[in-house]
Amino acid sequence: MLSLHFNKQVFIDTLKTNDSVVYAITTLALMATLLLQGTIKGNLKPEYFAYALIVSLAFCMWGMIDRKFRQISAKRQ
């Protein structure tokens, strides 16, 4: 059986350092999942990738706004 062991700590440290890395990895994972699902079902359309990109951008903006307001509220306390 093929061993899929790898050093998880490298990925964990990378994700702790920068939120933009998290957003990029999430977007890539969403696109890869969409590609795999579309390949299996056979109904892959370019519009689906556009929708996925829009959703990823929305979550990115939400995360940045959330972080900014959390920093502001932390300074007030």
Mind listing the pLDDT tens digit for each residue in 14-47?
Answer: 666 666 777 777 788 888 888 888 888 888 888 8
pLDDT exceeds cutoff 50 at 12? yes
How high is the pLDDT of residue 34? 85
**Integer Rg of the chain from CA:** 17
Residue type, 25: I
Q: Who has greater pLDDT, 4 or 39?
A: 39
The strand ranges marked E within 5-73 are: none
Q: Considering the chain, what is the average pLDDT of its residues?
A: 77
